[in-house]
Chain A
């Protein structure tokens, strides 16, 4: 088909605890950077999609679509606010993809945004836990880290995954983030510090967990034609897929695998006409390090149960065969929930353009992003190509 969907510009705010910036400040900032990067005129943008999980609870503000259009001076164009818990950002990208593919819109400003540090830590934890089945998991004392601990403990029992392997994911992702000027934690962290960090939900430690972050990301997505007018190096979305699973983790037959990730990643590869070996660089959802281990198995980088060992072997390191999370991932770049899925795409666009500087994967031409919501109840996969 001739109607490919392209990405012509990306923008990011720095991720972190941004005390001096509000939700609308960061949303606007990421959007403006994306617009400047694409060199597109405001009048050429005909819609906005914005991914956000829970601004109403984190900041007291909802209706972010209209907020973004208003603050950006974009006039009367339609704006769509999209929510899929931690996959809200990926969902905003996918909505824009479908809108352009259908011919309804030509050029869309895609945003992802979350301001989490305006509430205290305990309120933030409460809000994060509504991404799982709050009524039947959260209400009974299962925190979000506890649900990932459930997966980790089964993975350890069934496949011999070790605490050291859970920790090595952190070490790898921090090493990558040290070279990412947008990341929340731009410093390496040694293994023994990770292994001795505080337990939050055994066997999960604080340094196995993504932080509470503020941040926003933006993209200009448009038709192939439009992208060629705007830039010499458009990046194309070769596939956009999404799958669902049970909301509650206890309803899944096997909690060491994410069925929605398996399904959506296989479909994406099939649509793009590629195999996993053709993908040069990955951004996957490491809200907890066990998540990266499980996802690398489920997308087919390695067989089930081997996800911990490939980290030890360096297969997913920046110079490995399958570089995973060159940005530092959710663990070290930060995880402003609604921004994450958009930031993954932004990082991959930089990688494909060759603009990722010290964290550049040499010669990357194809890329995959895996953004999940909750404990895997939503999985959204995008495959990009230069």
Chain B
């Protein structure tokens, strides 16, 4: 585990609460997590904030059965790489889905959940997880 202070969560709240990353106007690429420099264009890059829609599909996944301290209470849980419709991938848990039901290509959407807590007296970290689109809305995402 890295640092456990309040500030390290607070300074990236917009990214982890709202999936805010960026878009480079020079090369028309999207980035999440947000970057300070466009890795394609470097100094010629023009990054602007971009709010991702939070819709995508499962690119790959694992069922975690042996977890570090902050995640022990959640095992077994699904963690996946989600490919957002804008084309970027991120790493997040999949919830509202049994481990045996998750599959590659499954449509998912972002939801706001508790991620972990830093011990009994530490802060609670909230942020994005993803859930199957079908199951929650009753309608497949078009």
A residues in contact (CB < 8 Å) with B = 122-123, 125-126, 129-130, 134-143, 145-147, 149-151, 153-154, 157, 198-204, 206, 248-251, 255
**B67 proximity list for chain A (CB < 8 A):** 125, 141, 143
Alpha-carbon gap, A130 to B68, bound state (A): 12
Give the distance to chain B from A112, nearest Cβ to Cβ, in Å: 24
**B66 proximity list for chain A (CB < 8 A):** 125, 143, 145, 200-201, 206
Alpha-carbon gap, A305 to B119, bound state (A): 43
Q: Among the listed stretches B46-54, B87-95, B132-140, which one makes contact with chain A, having 4 or more residues with CB under 8 Å of it?
A: B87-95
Residue of B nearest to A125 (CB): B68
User: Closest 7 CB pairs between A and B?
Assistant: A149-B62, A202-B63, A146-B62, A250-B89, A201-B62, A200-B66, A150-B60
Contact of B69 with A by CB under 8 A = yes
Within 8 A of A (CB), among B87-129: 88-93, 99, 104, 115-116, 125, 127
Contact of B55 with A by CB under 8 A = no
**A140 proximity list for chain B (CB < 8 A):** 79, 91-93, 115, 127
Question: Are A202 and B65 touching (Cβ within 8 A)?
Answer: yes
Residue of B nearest to A151 (CB): B60
Q: A122-B69, A136-B90, A206-B66 are in contact. List 5 more A-B contacts (CB 8 A).
A: A136-B91, A142-B64, A143-B71, A146-B79, A201-B65
**B89 proximity list for chain A (CB < 8 A):** 250-251
A contacts with B: majority SS: helix
**12 A-B contact pairs sorted by A residue (CB < 8 Å):** A134-B2, A135-B33, A136-B33, A139-B116, A149-B62, A150-B81, A154-B60, A154-B104, A199-B65, A201-B63, A201-B65, A249-B91
**A198 proximity list for chain B (CB < 8 A):** 65
Alpha-carbon gap, A137 to B74, bound state (A): 16
Alpha-carbon gap, A140 to B81, bound state (A): 11
With beta carbons under 8 angstroms apart, the residue of A137, A143, A153 that contacts B60 is A153
Alpha-carbon gap, A135 to B72, bound state (A): 18
Alpha-carbon gap, A251 to B33, bound state (A): 9
**A135 proximity list for chain B (CB < 8 A):** 2, 12, 33
**B88 proximity list for chain A (CB < 8 A):** 250
Question: Are B2 and A145 touching (Cβ within 8 A)?
Answer: no
Alpha-carbon gap, A134 to B116, bound state (A): 14
Alpha-carbon gap, A299 to B26, bound state (A): 35
Alpha-carbon gap, A385 to B50, bound state (A): 52
Give the distance to chain B from A74, nearest Cβ to Cβ, in Å: 34
Residue of B nearest to A198 (CB): B65
Q: Give the number of residue pairs across the A-B interface with Cβ within 8 Å.
A: 108
Alpha-carbon gap, A377 to B60, bound state (A): 19
Alpha-carbon gap, A80 to B18, bound state (A): 43
Give the distance to chain B from A122, nearest Cβ to Cβ, in Å: 5
Alpha-carbon gap, A382 to B44, bound state (A): 36
Question: Are A204 and B91 touching (Cβ within 8 A)?
Answer: no
Question: Are A139 and B79 touching (Cβ within 8 A)?
Answer: no
Known contacts A153-B61, A204-B62, A250-B89; is-contact A122 B68 (Cβ 8 Å): yes
Alpha-carbon gap, A145 to B61, bound state (A): 11
**B64 proximity list for chain A (CB < 8 A):** 141-143, 145-146, 200-201
Alpha-carbon gap, A236 to B80, bound state (A): 44
Question: Are A141 and B63 touching (Cβ within 8 A)?
Answer: no
Alpha-carbon gap, A306 to B69, bound state (A): 37
Known contacts A136-B90, A140-B127; is-contact A250 B65 (Cβ 8 Å): no
With beta carbons under 8 angstroms apart, the residue of A151, A200, A250 that contacts B90 is A250
Q: Mark each residue of chain B from 1 to 16: 1 if its CB lies under 8 Å from any CB of chain A, else 0.
A: 1100000000010000
Give the distance to chain B from A209, nearest Cβ to Cβ, in Å: 10
Question: Are B81 and A249 touching (Cβ within 8 A)?
Answer: yes
Question: Are B116 and A141 touching (Cβ within 8 A)?
Answer: yes
Question: Are A138 and B62 touching (Cβ within 8 A)?
Answer: no
**B99 proximity list for chain A (CB < 8 A):** 202
**A141 proximity list for chain B (CB < 8 A):** 64, 67, 71, 74, 77, 79, 93, 115-116
Give the distance to chain B from A14, nearest Cβ to Cβ, in Å: 26
Question: Are B62 and A126 touching (Cβ within 8 A)?
Answer: no
The CB with the most chain B CB atoms within 10 A, among A137, A149, A250, is that of A250
Alpha-carbon gap, A125 to B62, bound state (A): 16
Give the distance to chain B from A134, nearest Cβ to Cβ, in Å: 5
